Amino acid sequence: MESCNCVEPQWPADELLMKYQYLSDFFIALAYFSIPLELIYFVKKSAVFPYRWVLVQFGAFIVLCGATHLINLWTFAIHSRTVAYVMTIAKVLTAAVSCITALMLVHIIPDLLSVKTRELFLKNKAAELDREMGLIRTQEETGRHCALWMPTRSGLELQLSYTLRQQQNPVGYTVPIHLPVINRVFSSNRALKISPNSPVARIRPLAGKYIPGEVVAVRVPLLHLSNFQINDWPELSTKRYALMVLMLPSDSARQWHVHELELVEVVADQVAVALSHAAILEESMRARDLLMEQNVALDLARREAETAIRARNDFLAVMNHEMRTPMHAIIALSSLLQETELTPEQRLMVETIMKSSNLLATLINDVLDLSRLEDGSFQLNIATFNLHAVFREVLNLIKPVASVKKLLITLNLAPDLPEYAVGDEKRLMQVILNVVGNAVKFSKEGGISITAFVAKAEYLREARPPEFIPVPSDNHFYLRVQVRDSGSGINPQDIPKLFTKFAHNQSLATRNSGGSGLGLAICKRFVTLMDGHIWIESEGIGKGCTATFIVGLGIPEKLNESKFPVLPRGSSNHVLANFSGLKVLVMDDNGVGRAATKGLLLHLGCDVTTVSSGDELLHAVSQEHKVVLMDICTPGIDSYEVAVQIHRLYSQHHERPLLVAITGSTDKVTKENCMRVGMDGVIQKPVSLDKMRNVLSELLECGHQMSSLARV
Amino acid sequence: MPRFHGQSNHAPVDIVNQLQKQYVDYLSSLFHEGVLDDQFTQLQKLQDESNPDFTVEVATLFFVDSDKLINNMAAALERSPVDFKQVDADVHQLKGSSSSIGAMRVKNLCITFRSFCETQSYEGCLICLQQVKNECAVLKDKLQNLFRMEQQIVGAGGSVPLMD
């Protein structure tokens, strides 16, 4: 044996047993080393771990144990003394650490165990609290309550209108209003505690275990719109109140405190405002619905009225025509009859027939006019006309009647009255004629004086009635006509009725004169349409009367239509007197008319050629002819077509002869047609020498520009 | 007031004056009765040295024309069916002629006549036609008188007075 200083194993080496021990030791060591690693790993992962020292100790203990077993591996075989020493040290250390750990654990383990119990305890407690909360809540719900009682329409009962939870109580539950407790609450503006047993508080049937909490009631004034002043708080001037009831939860020890009562009062006021707002809103919604319905109804009525008016107009138009035709036959034949030989009796009869039929014709015209006037579909025919001529014509028309009655008619036209004016000539004449006619009708003797002048501003201010103040301007003036008669006069009381249609003045004078009563009404309408006013003054029966009217008329410009370019006229008096050598072509299919026109032109010195048809005209016309006069009344010859042809032949203006139409019609349509085909002028029959002279001189001065000469 | 134009001559002034006064009265009566109107005066104004018989010429033309038209109308009214359009056209012509010459009554009758044509009233047309015929005859007669007087005046050396 060598002296190797080695240590021999305790017992003899048994191969199998040793092998097993060897392996086990190895695995133990492995496990012992890995456990602390795992511990460290997981502890690092976890957020909180209060026992670090314990962990270190434990870790050390395990590591050392592992080391011991590891070193043990070497002791199965022969090993050196060093190994033995290491082994020993390791074992010693392990022993030490294990003992310390064991001692430490004694303190720690109870702690650990107690944490667990505390946790369990807390969990239990939390569950218990939850349960309790649930209970309390249900208690609260069943116990606390708020209700609003509104007075019914009759005012004798209070009806449960609003509650916190609708489905619990049948709404419509009522209590009589004159309970003492309710009166007590209504008579004070404070919140009062009331007994929970009073009918207003007992909303639910009490479940046995609940002791009702305290109840407070406060009155809520129902405000009307008028209660709201802008600056003040609404005054409690109304007698109607609602009742707001607040109940504390049952089983609650809470009491109503003073500040809480004040709060309740404030809330009650707010509730009052809210209620009135709701009422107002409801009211306005209802009003709006009503208005919409009314609108629809009005619309329908309007449409029906329009349909009715249209139907009436159609009817009137048809009836008008139907009525006028036989009327015309009667008038025409009676006038023819008058021309024949008749016995005096027969003549009288025929005259009566004529008068009656004239009256009837006038009535028909009046009715149609008035109905058109009334529904506003009437329009004036505005044109330029000779104002002086209108008065002269009225005078001519009325002179025969006046002279029969031996009345003296005087006409005074103011010197500054313009000769031409723009307006509706026919209707103006109708008005003047009506007024003058009335004057003549109601006068048995004496005279009628007609004065016409331009109304100045001073006159206008004095004019009665004072609310009518027309303002003349640059392009129109106001014509004032006054008709004074010395006839039977009118009772001042009857004056307002004069202009009412169909109202008859039952004085002696009217019984013989007849008349539909429409005349003055129509005059008034016309005058109003002409932007004027008409009135009658009389001092009484037998003192005559004065009829005055003012109408607005336009002032014609130099040229009658503004559409046409304003022609510079050197002097309006400068008229060519001699057209010697002027070549004129005249077309007229009527032999006599041709001769007359030719004579006229010859007298003026023209060189006249005449043709009797459109074709002849087109053949005869040449550049030498300066003027072509065409009679466009001839049926069968389309003079307009001829004019168009001439235009085509002479495309350049300065070569084309001037085209003038001679027509017997006065309506606008003819004039428009002439303009349309390019006529340079229009003359109206009957043609006088002066007229022809004026027309020709104007045309020749102004060249190829259309001047409207219809009324020259 | 009547105006005078033309040359004066050597016959005794009284006779000329008397003739002229007669003429003026006659012409005035024609205007007054409505046989003639202003248009006739216009025609008279056109008469001058270059055209001394203008009025007579035009009047003659008128009577020839109107006779023809009246005959046409009578013939048309005798046919059946009556062609009212044709009659209307003729009346229109007559109306034009009469208004050109200043025959007021004839013109008015034509207006009435036309309305009967429009309503196609046979009796009315017949009546009117008769009236027109009569009236034209009257007019012819009176104008012939008038022209005769004019010739007398001119023959006596005076000048025909013009109405205003």
pLDDT on residue B141:
93
Chain B residue with the nearest C-alpha to that of A332: B112
Closest CA to B93 of B71, B65, B120, B117: B65
Which residues on chain A are in Cβ contact (under 8 Å) with B119? 325, 329
**Cross-chain Cβ contact B51/A603 below 8 Å:** yes
CB-based burial, A109-127: b 16+ in 10 Å, e otherwise: eeeeeeeeeeeeeeeeeee
Question: Helix B122-155 to helix B54-78 angle, to the nearest 10 degrees?
Answer: 160
**Cross-chain Cβ contact B45/A336 below 8 Å:** no
Out of B50, B65, B116, the one facing A591 most closely (by C-beta) is B65
Q: What is the DSSP string of A578-634?
A: --TT-EEEEE-S-HHHHHHHHHHHHHTT-EEEEESSHHHHHHH--TT--EEEEETT-
Binding residues of A: 65, 69, 438-441, 485, 501, 516, 520
pLDDT bucket at B135, cuts 50 / 70 / 90:
very high
Q: What is the CATH number of domain A280-378?
A: 1.10.287.130
Determine the residue among A589, A592, A631 to mutate to test chain B binding: the one whose Cβ has the most chain B Cβ atoms within 10 Å: A592
Residue B81 CB: number of other CB atoms within 10 A? Answer: 5
Question: Helix B84-101 to helix A591-603 angle, to the nearest 10 degrees?
Answer: 20
Query: Chain A: nearest CA to B19, how far in angstroms?
Result: 27
Q: Per-residue pLDDT averaged across A266-289, rounded?
A: 89
> How far are the Cα atoms of A502, B2, B69 from residue B56, in angstroms, in the given order?
56, 20, 20
Q: Cα–Cα distance between A86 and A7 in angstroms, integer? A: 13
**Cross-chain Cβ contact A591/B97 below 8 Å:** yes
> How far are the Cα atoms of A591, A609, A621, A648, A679 from residue A645, in angstroms, in the given order?
24, 19, 11, 5, 12
Which residues on chain B are in Cβ contact (under 8 Å) with A590? 65, 93, 96-97, 100
**φ and ψ at residue A373, rounded to 5 degrees:** -65, -40
Are B112 and B132 a contacting pair, CB within 8 Å? no
Query: A626 CB contacts (<8 Å, ≥6 apart)?
Result: A582, A583, A584, A657, A658, A700
Tokens 């002179």 correspond to A399
Q: Per-residue pLDDT averaged across B123-128, rounded?
A: 89
Query: Hey, is the C-beta of B28 within 8 angstroms of any chain A C-beta?
Result: no
Are A158 and A200 a contacting pair, CB within 8 Å? yes
pLDDT bucket at A434, cuts 50 / 70 / 90:
confident
**Cross-chain Cβ contact A592/B54 below 8 Å:** no
Would you call A18 exposed, middle or buried from its count of C-beta atoms within 10 A (0-12, 13-18, 19+)? Answer: middle
Give percent above pLDDT 70 in chain A: 78
Q: Per-residue pLDDT averaged across A42-69, rounded?
A: 78
Which residues on chain A are in Cβ contact (under 8 Å) with B89? 635-636
**φ and ψ at residue A138, rounded to 5 degrees:** -60, -40
Query: Hey, is the C-beta of B50 within 8 angstroms of any chain A C-beta?
Result: yes
pLDDT on residue B143:
93
Chain A residue with the nearest C-alpha to that of B68: A591
Average pLDDT, chain B: 86
Q: Per-residue pLDDT averaged across A45-50, rounded?
A: 69
pLDDT digits (tens, 9 = 90+) for B77-122: 888 888 888 899 999 999 989 988 889 899 989 999 998 888 888 8
Q: Where are the beta strands (DSSP E) in A330-456?
A: 383-386, 408-413, 420-423, 447-454
Tokens 């304003």 correspond to A566
3-state helix, strand, coil in chain B (%, to 5): 75, 5, 25
Which residues on chain B are in Cβ contact (under 8 Å) with A604? none
More confident site: A580 or B116: B116
**Cross-chain Cβ contact B42/A689 below 8 Å:** yes
Q: Per-residue pLDDT averaged across A7-35, rounded?
A: 81
Which residues on chain B are in Cβ contact (under 8 Å) with A602? 46, 50-51
Q: Cα–Cα distance between A8 and A341 in angstroms, integer? A: 192
> How far are the Cα atoms of B14, B140, B144 from residue B147, in angstroms, in the given order?
20, 10, 5
- What pTM was estimated for this model as a whole? 0.38
Determine the residue among B31, B40, B42 to mutate to test chain A binding: the one whose Cβ has the most chain A Cβ atoms within 10 Å: B42
Give percent above pLDDT 90 in chain A: 7
pLDDT digits (tens, 9 = 90+) for A673-687: 888 888 888 887 777
pLDDT digits (tens, 9 = 90+) for A341-352: 889 888 888 888
Which residues on chain A are in Cβ contact (under 8 Å) with B45? 603, 689
Chain A residue with the nearest C-alpha to that of B94: A590
Query: Hey, is the C-beta of B61 within 8 angstroms of any chain A C-beta?
Result: yes
pLDDT bucket at A153, cuts 50 / 70 / 90:
confident
Query: A339 CB contacts (<8 Å, ≥6 apart)?
Result: B131
Strand order in the sheet with A681-684: A607-611, A583-587, A627-631, A658-663, A681-684
Out of B42, B48, B57, the one facing A595 most closely (by C-beta) is B57
Kindly tell me if the per-residue pLDDT of A505 is higher than 60: no
Which residues on chain A are in Cβ contact (under 8 Å) with B99? 664, 685-686
Query: Hey, is the C-beta of B52 within 8 angstroms of any chain A C-beta?
Result: no
pLDDT on residue A82:
85
pLDDT bucket at A377, cuts 50 / 70 / 90:
low
Average pLDDT, chain A: 78
Q: Cα–Cα distance between B91 and B111 in angstroms, integer? A: 8
Residues in chain B: 164
Chain A residue with the nearest C-alpha to that of B42: A688
Flag the least confident range among A148-152, A171-175, B39-43, B83-87.
Answer: A171-175
Binding residues of A for ADP: 438-441, 485, 501, 516, 520
pLDDT bucket at A469, cuts 50 / 70 / 90:
low
Question: Helix B104-118 to helix B84-101 angle, to the nearest 10 degrees?
Answer: 160
SS3 A683: strand
Q: Per-residue pLDDT averaged across B40-63, rounded?
A: 86
CATH architecture group of domain A382-502+516-554: 2-Layer Sandwich (3.30)
Flag the least confident range among A10-14, A191-195, A306-310, B138-142.
Answer: A10-14
Q: Cα–Cα distance between B131 and B57 in angstroms, integer? A: 25
Are A607 and A581 a contacting pair, CB within 8 Å? yes
Chain B residue with the nearest C-alpha to that of A588: B96
For the ranges A20-29, A34-43, A663-672, the one whose mean pLDDT is highest: A20-29
Residue A400 CA to its chain's centroid (Å): 60
Token output for A180 = 């003492």
Query: Chain B: nearest CA to A339, how far in angstroms?
Result: 9
Query: A695 CB contacts (<8 Å, ≥6 apart)?
Result: A660, A681, A683, A709, A712
Out of A592, A635, A685, the one facing B58 most closely (by C-beta) is A592
Which residues on chain A are in Cβ contact (under 8 Å) with B51? 599, 602-603
Query: Chain B: nearest CA to A599, how far in angstroms?
Result: 6
Out of A592, A600, A685, the one facing B61 most closely (by C-beta) is A592
Q: Where are the beta strands (DSSP E) in A185-265?
A: 192-194, 215-221, 241-247
Query: Chain B: nearest CA to A685, how far in angstroms?
Result: 9
Kindly tell me if the per-residue pLDDT of A54 is higher than 50: yes
Kindly tell me if the per-residue pLDDT of A48 is higher than 70: no
Residue A252 CB: number of other CB atoms within 10 A? Answer: 15
Q: Cα–Cα distance between A184 and A200 in angstroms, integer? A: 13
Query: Chain B: nearest CA to A589, how far in angstroms?
Result: 8
Q: Which helix (H) or strand (E) holds A536?
A: strand A533-538
Gap between the terminal Cα atoms of chain B: 7
Out of A597, A602, A686, the one facing B51 most closely (by C-beta) is A602
Determine the residue among B40, B100, B118 to mutate to test chain A binding: the one whose Cβ has the most chain A Cβ atoms within 10 Å: B100
**Cross-chain Cβ contact B112/A325 below 8 Å:** no
Kindly tell me if the per-residue pLDDT of B153 is higher than 60: yes
Chain A residue with the nearest C-alpha to that of B62: A592
Chain A residue with the nearest C-alpha to that of B113: A332
Closest CA to A505 of A482, A529, A538, A481: A538
Closest CA to A93 of A119, A57, A121, A136: A57
pLDDT on residue A8:
64
Q: Cα–Cα distance between A505 and A508 in angstroms, integer? A: 9
Token output for A230 = 């802008």
Token output for B131 = 């009236």
Flag the least confident range among A126-140, A340-354, A636-650.
Answer: A636-650
Query: Hey, is the C-beta of B86 within 8 angstroms of any chain A C-beta?
Result: no
Residue A90 DSSP class: H
**Cross-chain Cβ contact B38/A664 below 8 Å:** no
> If contacts are CB pairs under 8 Å, which of residues 143-162 in chain B contact chain A?
none
Query: Hey, is the C-beta of B118 within 8 angstroms of any chain A C-beta?
Result: no
**Cross-chain Cβ contact A592/B101 below 8 Å:** yes
**Cross-chain Cβ contact A689/B89 below 8 Å:** no
pLDDT digits (tens, 9 = 90+) for A397-424: 888 888 888 888 889 888 888 888 888 8
Q: Per-residue pLDDT averaged across A560-572, rounded?
A: 41
SS3 A531: coil
Would you call A185 exposed, middle or buried from its count of C-beta atoms within 10 A (0-12, 13-18, 19+)? Answer: buried
Cis peptide before B81 (omega within 30 of 0): yes
Chain A residue with the nearest C-alpha to that of B60: A592
SS3 A213: coil
Which residues on chain B are in Cβ contact (under 8 Å) with A636? 89
Residue A5 CB: number of other CB atoms within 10 A? Answer: 9
Fold of A583-710: Rossmann fold (3.40.50)
